[in-house]
Structure 1
């Protein structure tokens, strides 16, 4: 988190940490047969560390600078050695983690030459050569693993964002489609009712108003949650609960006001459900009833919820015209696709097609639910 938010501060901190590690041989007393460490040698050590501040912006240039200053330290002064090539390891890790392939290949080629030369200038031993190659290879491998982990994190974040966009799209579709469908039905019936039964016209206009206000409230709540935290200092959006099973009678009543004779029944006991599952059940019923109002030309409809053996079955049926001739069973627009997606998100299934007697249309959804203690609703 800190590295993503303040990279320059992290790079400065790494440089200071490396400087502290490379200072240790200068403060530890040297054997009497060796000359004491000088400020010149320490200054060259610091000069080797300073380029790490720009390790992200120009990694290959930093590598070349470190190689040059390290060679100068080895050839020009008599200073204490370091137990590990700290600066070289840091820049090799950085290049492996952040740089494109051509920079990594360039780094490999430079190390193939620089490591044996450095060993030859120091101890000329196979042991040091083997150790140096091992630690630089380890730094490179750790850098590649970091890059792979970051790539996987980005891919997962993109997939999560795509799932969230799909979820929001379904919510927006369900809210708007349901509200607009009921308002259109009421508005079309209004002129007829004005002439034949003025009291029914008033009820139709009240239903249009109530449906519009409910849709606006749901959209405002959803958009408020999306905006939450975008602007510093703004108050948090209200987090009203999502609709669930308790709101189904109100939904049915609102659809009944559009002129559709609709019944709502439950069987097997009404159980307490997790909030996400309850919201999914509500949206499935809402979308199925929206399809009835928009497309079925039905006069009656029925909603039935059956909870048994860890499965909640949702059935919405009507006596309308059913699917058009030649259309495959289960085909449909975004509404039926959204119902199937909602069911699949909870490990369930959804099918749709003609009713049991071949008349009308039926949507049947099965959701696995926990066999929780029956709760009063």
Structure 2
């Protein structure tokens, strides 16, 4: 910053600027008192200069006390008129005081000051026998201009404050929106990681437990089981790398396609290899789905089949996918024993609603095959959140004739004819 810029910034400081205003007004107002000797008038005594100084000194505090500044200056001007001291062409201190009240006092005070000034000017002009129409016009125009300039300054300052408040509110809104996006993305990644880990690890555990059983009597079958465990683990690692890549780079999510309903055949085959017979039925035309619906449908079926593997015991499962109308309907049904242990506190008929939680807080782990309700997990909650974000719903609960069912409805956008 240059020296001139520093000096300008210092001069424009409110206190310094007001002191300069008071000095300039004093110099202009004191001129008539310095000229009487040239016109043959008696010299002005010291108290006359003090009276002019009294008019100008309050201007130093005009911003902090605009009303009191105007009152003190008005009294000093009235005293000067009564003692017959030489007066300047215009009451400069009074003009600055009126401007200050209009600019810095409350609105009602500014209007009252304008009215009182108009009345005082009228009284002075009426009392003065030498006043003519020109005096009326000039004085009222000058004082009205001072008041209007002050009111304009007030309006500009208030608009600037409103703009600052709007900008601050906009910043808060943007920050809140950014935080919301971060939280949503964090929850999305958490759901994806839960679905990937729960599904693949469950398959690996089931297959690993089956390995020692088939090893003595069917070594070739055991080799297939261990190969399946290896393939499942590699697939889990690949999807985990993809999810973790989202946390490192912005474009990592686009390196590999997200799973969708086109992968349900492969999913069902993997579950069959793990020991759970699965039948997949697709009804309607398999038109391309929106990315969010496609991924959510796959994850809901994946989570439901994972729970079948973990809790249903010896069972069969049926997966149904229906494209009818403007809604994609999913259902995963099993005839296992997991539902036999459901008591009064289990997941109800509407175990997952709009909020993604059951009426009694039972989560992803559902009910075990031994009939005990384990600690609440994230599976059912995650399915409910996925459906809710798309405007759909998920229903999970025991079937009347035994087993467990998960049904989901995901709305589809209108398709052009």
TM-score clears 0.5? yes
Superposition pairs of residues 1-377 of structure 1, within 5 angstroms:
43=4, 47-49=7-9, 66-71=13-18, 74=21, 111=63, 113=65, 120=96, 125-228=146-249, 239-323=255-339, 324-326=342-344, 327-329=346-348, 330=351, 331=358, 332-333=362-363, 334-355=378-399, 357-372=400-415
Alpha-carbon distance between aligned partners in 1 of 2:398 and 2:388, rounded to the nearest angstrom = 22
Query: CA–CA distance in 1 between the matches of 2:155 and 2:223?
Result: 85
Unaligned runs of 5+ residues in structure 1 are 1-11, 17-41, 52-64, 79-108, 230-234
Task: Give the SS at the match of 1:204.
Answer: helix
Distance 1:352 1:151 in 2: 40
Provide Cα deviations, 1:169-196, integer angstroms capped at 9, x if missing partner. Answer: 1111000000110110001111111112
SS at 1:172's partner residue? helix
* 109-118 vs 314-323, which moves further: 109-118
Contact 1:309–1:371, Cα closer than 8 Å, also in 2: no
Structure-2 change in CA distance of 1:364 and 1:50 (3 Å): farther
Q: In 2 relative to 1, CA 167–205 (structure 1 residues): closer, same or farther, beyond 3 Å?
A: same
Asked if structure 1 preserves the Cα contact closer than 8 Å seen for 2:10 and 2:16, the reply is no
Contact residue 398 and residue 404 of structure 2 kept, 8 A: yes
Task: Tell me if the contact between 1:315 and 1:362 (Cα under 8 Å) persists in the aligned partners.
Answer: yes
Q: Deviations over 1:286-308 (max 9, x none)?
A: 11111111111142101100111
Match of 2:215, SS? helix
Gaps of 5+ in 2: 26-60, 71-92, 100-141, 352-357, 364-377
Q: SS at 1:316's partner residue? A: strand
SS of the residue aligned with 1:272?
coil
State the distance in 1 between where 2:147 and 2:211 align.
Answer: 95
Residue 371 of structure 1: CA displacement?
4.6
Q: Which has the larger radius of gyration?
A: 2
Contact persistence 1:352–1:364 (CA under 8 A): yes
TM-score, normalised on structure 2?
0.62
Q: TM-score, normalised by structure 1?
A: 0.68
Task: Specify the SS of the correspondent of 2:149.
Answer: helix
CA RMSD of aligned residues (A): 3.1
Higher-RCO chain (CA-CA 8 Å, sequence separation at least 6): 1
Shift of 1:150: 1.3
| Gap change, CA 1:325 and 1:267, over 3 Å in 2 | same
Distance 2:14 2:230 in 1: 76
Number of residue-to-residue matches in the alignment: 285
